[in-house]
C-alpha cells in the first residue's frame, strides 16, 4: 500500500527531501519514503550528479508523472505501472546506494517542436490568397481600365475580353448568313422544279401539235368523258381559262414581289459595303438571287408561252397555282429574312457611327493637347523674347520665331500688335537701363554742363567737364540759377532711382545746343521705354497662354 501511494505522484515535501539528499552531510531518506522520481525532480538530480559517490550505472528514463508534463506535438507515451517491482528497483537503486545518499540518475528527454517548412509555406500561401481577395475589389476598376483587353486578366476578373465579344458577333453573323443561304437554296430548288414541270408539259403538248393530229374532243381532259357534248367541253375550257387567267395574275404578283425583294437586296448590299467580314458572303448571296431572278424570268416566259398554246394545256392550272402559292410563301419568308438582315446591317452601321463618334471625341482631346502644347511653346518663346529685350542684343530672330509658331488668327493679331513697335529696333538692339544711366553720368551730363549758358568762367566749365569725364558720378548743381543744370540734375536723380520716364521728360525739355547734345541719348532712352512697355505686354500674354 505504501509503494502504491507513492506511485500516485510525489508531494512537494518529498521533492524537497530528494533534493536535500544530494548535499553532503544530509542523511538520505528512508527506503519507504523515497518514492518515484518525477519530471519535477530532474533539476535536483542533475545538480547532484557532480557530487561524489554518484552511481555510474546506465541512466533509466523516468516516465511523466502526469498528462500535463507531455510536450505539445509529442506522441503520448504509455504510463508504466509504478507497482511493478522491476520499475521500483530501477528507480530506487540498491540499498547501498540509498544508504550512501546517491539518487538515481535520470536521462533528459528532448522534444522537437514546430510543424516544419511545409506548414510555413502553406500558411504563407493562405495569407497571400487572403490579401489578394481583400485587395481585388479595390484594384478591379483600375485593372479593367488598363488591362481589361488582356485575356488572362479578363478571365481573373470574370469578364469577357474584347476579342471574345468580337468572336461571338462574328459567329452570330455567320449563322445568320448560313440560314439565309439555305433559304436561297430552297428557293432555287423550287424554281427549278417548276421550270422542269413546265418544260415537260411543253414537250408533251408540243409533240402533239407537231404531229399535226387534231385532238379528240374530250380526250385527255381530266373530269370530261369522251362522250361529252361540245357544250360541256366548252364550259370546261372556259373554267380552265379563268383559272389560267387567275394564275397569270398570281404570277404577276410573284414577279412584283421578287422585284421588290431584289430592290431590298440591292439596298442591303449598299448598306453592307462597310462590313468587310460579310462582303464576300453577301456578294455570293446577291449572285444567287440574280440567278434565281433569271430562273423566275425563264419560268415566266415558259408560262406565257404555255398560255398561248392549245387549250389542253389548261389542265395544268391546278398544279401551276399550287406551285405559285408555294413560291409566294417562300418569297415571303425570304423577304422576312432579308428584313432581318437589313436590321442587322443597320445595327452594324450604328456601331460604326458610335465608333466614329468616339474617334471624333478622341481627336478633340488630342487637338486640345496639341493646342496646350502650342500655347506652352509660344509662351516660352515670348518669355525668352522678354529676356532678350532686357539686354542690348539684337532680337530679330526671336521676333520671327514667335510669329511663325503662332497658329491662331486672333492670337496672331494680338502678338503682331505687340511686336510691331519692336521691329524698328530688332536689327540694332537698344541699350539697357544701366547702360543709359552710365552713359548719361559719364558722357552726356558733363557735355550738357559744359555747353550750358551759366555765368561761370570758361576755365571753371572746362574743369567741371574734365572732372565729369574722369569720375562718372552724378552731377550736383553748384548754383540754382541755370535751367539746363537743373534739368540735368533732375535726370541724374531719376536715373539713379530707375525712373526712366522722368529722366526722358527732363531731357526732353532742353532747348538749343544742350538739346542737340542730348538728342542721341534721348532717342536711346525712348527706345528703351518702348521695349520695356512691349516686354511687359508680352510677359502678360505669355502668362495667360501658360495658364490655359
Inside any domain, residue 519: yes
The 3-state DSSP class for residue 60 equals strand
Cα–Cα distance for residue pair 548/539, rounded to 1 Å = 15
Tell me: do 242 and 346 sit in the same domain.
Answer: yes
Tell me: do 88 and 187 sit in the same domain.
Answer: no
Domain housing 28: 2-100
CA atoms within 13 A on the CB side of 291: 12
Could you tell me how far CA 519 lies from the centroid of its own chain?
68
Inside any domain, residue 376: no
The whole-number pLDDT of residue 287 equals 74
The whole-number pLDDT of residue 138 equals 81
Tell me: do 172 and 137 sit in the same domain.
Answer: no
The whole-number pLDDT of residue 112 equals 53
Helix extents (H) in 308-444: 317-389, 396-405, 409-419, 433-439
Over residues 79-90, the mean pLDDT reads: 48
The whole-number pLDDT of residue 15 equals 45
Q: Please tell me which of 2-6, 452-456, 479-483 the model is most confident about, judged by mean pLDDT.
A: 479-483
Cα–Cα distance for residue pair 474/467, rounded to 1 Å = 11
Inside any domain, residue 406: no
In angstroms, what CA-CA distances link 441 with 369, 461, 482, 492, 542? Answer: 52, 16, 18, 7, 35
Inside any domain, residue 137: yes
pLDDT at residue 33 above 50?
no
- Domains: count for the chain: 4
Q: Kind and range of the H or E element at 57?
A: none
Of 28-32, 161-165, 166-170, 424-428, the range with the lowest mean pLDDT is 28-32
pLDDT above 90 covers a percentage of the chain that reads 1
Tell me: do 71 and 134 sit in the same domain.
Answer: no
The whole-number pLDDT of residue 289 equals 66
Tell me: do 188 and 145 sit in the same domain.
Answer: no
Angle separating helix axes 483-496 and 500-508, nearest 10 degrees: 170
**Model confidence at 347, in pLDDT bands (50, 70, 90)?**
confident
Cα–Cα distance for residue pair 468/446, rounded to 1 Å = 5
CB neighbourhood size of 32 (10 A): 9
In angstroms, what CA-CA distances link 278 with 183, 289, 341? Answer: 17, 16, 11
Over residues 70-98, the mean pLDDT reads: 48
Q: Between vectors from CA 449 to CA 448 and to CA 454, what angle results, nearest 5°?
A: 120
Structural contact between residues 75 and 69, judged by C-beta atoms closer than 8 angstroms = no
Tell me: do 188 and 153 sit in the same domain.
Answer: no
Inside any domain, residue 365: no
Q: What's the pLDDT tens digit per position in 122-151?
A: 999 999 988 888 887 787 778 777 666 566
Average pLDDT over the chain, rounded to an integer:
68
Inside any domain, residue 409: no
- 443 against 206, higher pLDDT: 443
Tell me: do 464 and 510 sit in the same domain.
Answer: yes
Structural contact between residues 111 and 80, judged by C-beta atoms closer than 8 angstroms = no
Structural contact between residues 429 and 395, judged by C-beta atoms closer than 8 angstroms = yes
Tell me: do 261 and 349 sit in the same domain.
Answer: yes
Q: Of 100, 128, 144, which residue constitutes the final position of a domain?
A: 100
Inside any domain, residue 350: yes
Over residues 60-79, the mean pLDDT reads: 45
Inside any domain, residue 272: yes
For residue 60, the cross-strand partners are 106
- 443 against 19, higher pLDDT: 443
Over residues 501-521, the mean pLDDT reads: 87
Tell me: do 263 and 313 sit in the same domain.
Answer: yes
Q: What's the pLDDT tens digit per position in 355-397?
A: 888 888 877 777 677 777 788 888 888 888 888 888 888 888 9
pTM recorded for the entire structure? 0.32
- 236 against 11, higher pLDDT: 236
Tell me: do 138 and 206 sit in the same domain.
Answer: no
DSSP category for residue 442: I
The whole-number pLDDT of residue 51 equals 44
- Sign of the torsion formed by the C-alpha atoms of 202, 208, 211 and 212: negative
Cβ partners under 8 Å of residue 136, min gap 6: none
pLDDT at residue 50 above 50?
no
- 56 against 164, higher pLDDT: 164
Tell me: do 185 and 325 sit in the same domain.
Answer: yes
pLDDT at residue 503 above 60?
yes
What phi and psi values does residue 106 have, to the nearest 5 degrees?
-115, 135
Alpha-carbon Rg for the chain in angstroms: 61
Q: What's the pLDDT tens digit per position in 409-442?
A: 888 888 888 888 888 888 888 888 888 888 888 8
The whole-number pLDDT of residue 127 equals 92
Cβ partners under 8 Å of residue 289, min gap 6: 184, 261, 262, 265
Tell me: do 250 and 350 sit in the same domain.
Answer: yes
Amino acid at each position: 500500500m505504501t509503494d502504491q501511494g507513492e506511485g500516485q505522484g510525489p508531494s512537494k515535501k518529498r521533492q524537497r527531501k530528494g533534493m536535500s539528499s544530494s548535499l553532503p552531510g544530509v542523511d538520505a531518506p528512508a527506503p519507504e519514503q523515497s518514492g518515484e522520481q518525477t519530471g519535477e525532480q530532474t533539476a535536483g538530480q542533475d545538480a547532484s550528479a557532480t557530487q561524489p559517490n554518484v552511481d555510474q550505472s546506465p541512466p533509466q528514463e523516468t516516465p511523466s508523472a502526469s498528462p500535463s508534463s507531455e510536450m505539445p506535438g509529442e506522441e503520448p507515451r504509455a504510463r508504466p505501472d509504478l507497482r511493478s517491482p522491476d520499475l521500483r528497483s530501477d528507480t530506487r537503486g540498491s540499498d547501498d546506494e540509498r544508504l550512501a545518499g546517491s539518487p538515481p540518475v535520470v536521462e533528459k528527454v528532448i522534444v522537437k517542436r514546430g510543424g516544419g517548412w511545409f506548414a510555413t509555406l502553406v500558411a504563407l500561401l493562405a495569407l497571400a490568397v487572403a490579401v489578394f481577395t481583400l485587395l481585388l475589389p479595390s484594384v478591379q476598376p483600375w485593372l479593367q481600365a488598363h488591362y481589361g483587353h488582356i485575356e488572362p486578366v479578363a478571365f481573373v476578373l470574370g469578364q469577357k475580353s474584347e476579342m471574345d465579344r468580337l468572336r461571338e458577333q462574328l459567329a452570330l453573323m455567320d449563322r445568320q448568313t448560313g440560314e439565309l443561304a439555305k433559304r436561297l437554296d430552297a428557293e432555287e430548288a423550287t424554281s427549278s422544279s417548276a421550270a422542269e414541270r413546265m418544260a415537260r408539259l411543253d414537250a408533251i403538248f408540243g409533240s402533239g401539235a407537231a404531229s399535226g393530229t387534231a385532238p379528240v374532243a374530250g380526250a385527255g381532259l381530266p373530269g370530261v368523258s369522251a362522250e361529252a357534248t361540245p357544250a360541256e367541253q366548252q364550259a370546261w375550257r372556259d373554267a380552265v381559262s379563268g383559272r389560267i387567267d387567275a394564275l397569270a395574275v398570281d404570277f404577276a404578283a410573284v414577279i412584283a414581289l421578287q422585284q421588290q425583294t431584289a430592290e431590298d437586296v440591292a439596298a442591303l448590299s449598299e448598306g453592307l459595303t462597310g462590313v468587310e467580314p460579310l462582303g464576300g458572303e453577301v456578294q455570293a448571296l446577291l449572285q444567287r438571287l440574280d440567278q434565281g431572278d433569271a430562273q423566275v424570268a425563264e419560268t415566266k416566259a415558259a408560262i406565257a408561252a404555255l398560255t398561248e398554246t392549245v387549250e389542253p394545256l389548261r389542265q395544268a392550272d391546278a398544279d401551276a397555282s399550287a406551285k405559285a402559292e408555294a413560291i409566294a410563301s417562300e418569297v415571303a419568308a425570304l423577304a422576312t429574312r432579308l428584313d432581318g438582315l437589313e436590321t442587322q446591317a443597320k445595327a452594324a452601321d450604328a456601331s460604326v457611327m458610335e465608333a466614329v463618334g468616339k474617334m471624333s471625341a478622341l481627336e478633340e482631346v488630342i487637338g486640345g493637347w496639341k493646342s496646350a502644347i502650342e500655347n506652352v511653346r509660344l509662351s516660352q518663346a515670348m518669355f525668352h523674347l522678354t529676356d532678350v529685350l532686357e539686354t542690348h542684343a539684337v532680337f530679330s530672330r526671336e521676333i520671327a520665331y514667335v510669329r511663325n509658331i503662332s497658329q491662331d488668327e486672333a492670337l496672331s493679331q494680338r502678338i503682331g500688335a505687340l511686336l510691331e513697335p519692336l521691329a524698328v529696333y530688332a536689327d540694332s538692339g537698344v541699350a539697357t537701363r544701366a547702360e543709359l544711366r552710365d552713359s548719361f553720368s559719364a558722357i552726356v551730363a558733363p557735355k550738357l554742363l559744359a555747353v550750358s549758358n551759366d555765368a561761370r568762367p570758361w576755365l571753371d566749365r572746362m574743369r567741371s567737364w574734365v572732372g565729369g569725364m574722369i569720375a562718372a558720378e552724378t552731377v550736383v548743381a553748384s548754383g540754382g540759377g541755370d535751367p539746363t543744370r537743373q534739368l540735368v540734375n533732375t535726370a541724374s536723380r531719376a536715373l539713379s532711382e530707375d525712373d526712366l520716364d522722368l529722366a526722358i521728360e527732363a531731357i526732353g525739355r532742353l532747348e538749343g545746343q544742350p538739346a542737340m547734345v542730348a538728342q542721341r541719348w534721348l532717342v536711346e532712352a525712348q527706345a528703351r521705354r518702348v521695349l520695356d512697355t512691349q516686354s511687359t505686354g508680352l510677359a502678360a500674354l505669355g502668362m495667360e497662354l501658360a495658364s490655359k
